Amino acid sequence: MNSISFDNRVVIVTGAGGGLGRGYALDIARRGGSVVVNDLGGSVEGPGASREMADLVVAEIRAAGGRAVASYDNVATVDGARRIASCAIDNFGHIDALINNAGNLRSAWFEDASAQDLDAHVQVHLNGAFNVTQAVWPHMKARNYGRVVFTSSSAGMLGNDGQSAYGAAKGGVTGLMNVLAQEGEPCGILCNGLLPHATSRMGSKHAEMMGLEPTRDAAATPAWLIGARDPSFVTGIAVYLASDACTTTHSLYRALAGRISRVFIGVSRGWQGSREHPATAEDVAAHIAQIRDTTHGSYIPDSLQDDYQIAIAPVTA
Ligand code: NAI
């Protein structure tokens, strides 16, 4: 296997001042890429700002002989996103890849979650990914090449206690990826999503925010698992998806404790009701097991149109 190079490639990594994003930025720079290290430098919850986080990662990259510039802009604003894209263009001339990684966390049981919590998550995760991707999109389209990585989460795609607002925003990120994968493919832009897991600053904060006792969990955790939750275990898949070696689009990948897998939305073969008369609630109740059954066939649609064509195909026995 040839090694994956980022020579002459320019990559923006948002939220790269720590945790997962820092690891992505360091690895891409080590592989010859020029990196925009974006980080607002605030708290896990979101508020605050500081230049230190992005500056430290840039200094680390430069000390190792790599190329990087810092960006302190907020992904949640349209102007901030435009400045992040301009930072790449002004310093390096073009944009090859974007890793939408910036994120905040305000875990709470649903009855305690506020409209402000929802807004705070949507602003950073969803609006952030939308804004920055929109800012880089014309640059990628003009060169008929791009790689965009969207950071979703298992909380949004699979579910997790205490993450209603966070999960809602992350589910939205997957929706954005699904559509942009379709719009991007004819222009050479491949879009994929990532469901990471790591004991980063944010990863360690959930239990604390929920008032859970992390010590009980920690005592039962084997040493290998503590090691395999290091952010570096997610770097490989993120860097692959941002590279020209990546050939997939419209896909979600999960990195968890050393296992890298594909997560997908599948459609069961289902129950074929009448095409002349709508199914009643009673019909559904009578066929719910068949509707849910996946042992007799299922498929992964590439798009809404794909699913539509399969659903309207002539009925076979
Ligand atoms: P982290 O807290 O170490 O990194 C997130 C970074 O984003 C921080 O450095 C923060 O300053 C920056 N940031 C926050 N708001 C920003 C904004 N408006 N503009 C620019 N930068 C901003 O956390 P971690 O774990 O490295 O998270 C990275 C991504 O992975 C996040 O999107 C997170 O939601 C996601 N994720 C992490 C999981 C984990 O287990 N650590 C699980 C699932 C998803």
- pLDDT for position 38: 98
pLDDT reported for residue 106: 96
pLDDT tens per residue, range 252-280:
999 999 999 999 999 999 999 999 999 99
How far does residue 37's CA lie from ligand 1's centre (Å)? 13
Which atom of ligand 1 is nearest to 100's Cα? 32
CB atoms within 10 A of CB 55: 16
Residue 170: which of 194, 189, 191, 190 has the closest Cα? 194
Under 8 Å CB-to-CB from 171, ≥6 apart: which residues? 152, 156, 157
- Hey, what are 172's tokens? 């939205």
Looking at the chain, the whole-number percentage of residues with pLDDT higher than 70 is 98
Residue 36 confidence (pLDDT)? 99
Q: Report which ligand 1 atom has the smallest distance to the Cα of 20.
A: 26
Q: Considering the chain, what is the average pLDDT of its residues? A: 96
Contact 168, 156 (CB under 8 A): yes
Distance CA 138, CA 27 (A): 26
Reading the block at residue 185, the tokens are 């493919």
166 as an active site residue: the answer is yes
**CA 53, 162, 176: angle at the middle one, nearest 5?**
65
The pTM of the full predicted model, rounded to 2 decimals, is 0.97
b/e sequence 24-35, b meaning 16+ C-beta within 10 Å: bbbbbbebebbb
Contact criterion met (CB below 8 Å) for 99 and 149: yes
pLDDT value at position 217? 60
Catalytic member of 24, 72, 145, 166: 166
Kindly report, residue by residue over 131-153, the tens digit of the pLDDT. Answer: 999 999 999 999 999 999 999 99
Q: Is 204 or 225 the better-scoring residue by pLDDT? A: 225
Q: What is the mean pLDDT of residues 1-19?
A: 95
Are 75 and 128 a contacting pair, CB within 8 Å?
A: yes
The mean per-residue pLDDT over the stretch 219-223 comes to 85
Q: What is residue 204's predicted lDDT score, i.e. its pLDDT?
A: 79
CB 71 within 8 A of CB 38: yes
Identify which of 6, 151, 14 has the alpha carbon closest to the alpha carbon of residue 66: 6
| pLDDT band (50, 70, 90) for residue 221 | confident
Mutate to test the pocket of ligand 1, among 98, 202, 208 (most ligand atoms within 8 A of CB): 202
Please determine, for residue 197, whether its predicted confidence score (pLDDT) is greater than 60.
yes
Report yes or no: 38 and 16 within 8 Å, Cβ to Cβ: yes
Mean pLDDT of 116-142: 98
Name all residues whose Cβ lies below 6 A of ligand 1: 14-15, 17-21, 38-42, 44, 46, 53, 74-76, 101-104, 124, 128, 151, 153, 196-198, 200-203
DSSP assignment letter at 122: I
Task: List, in sequence order, every residue forming a beta bridge with 35; answer none if it has no partner.
Answer: 11, 68
Is residue 218 predicted with pLDDT exceeding 70? no
Instruction: Look at 218 and 246; give whichever has higher pLDDT.
Output: 246
- Averaged pLDDT, 90-104: 98
Contact assessment for residue 104 and residue 76, using Cβ atoms and an 8 Å cutoff: no
201's tokens: 């600053």
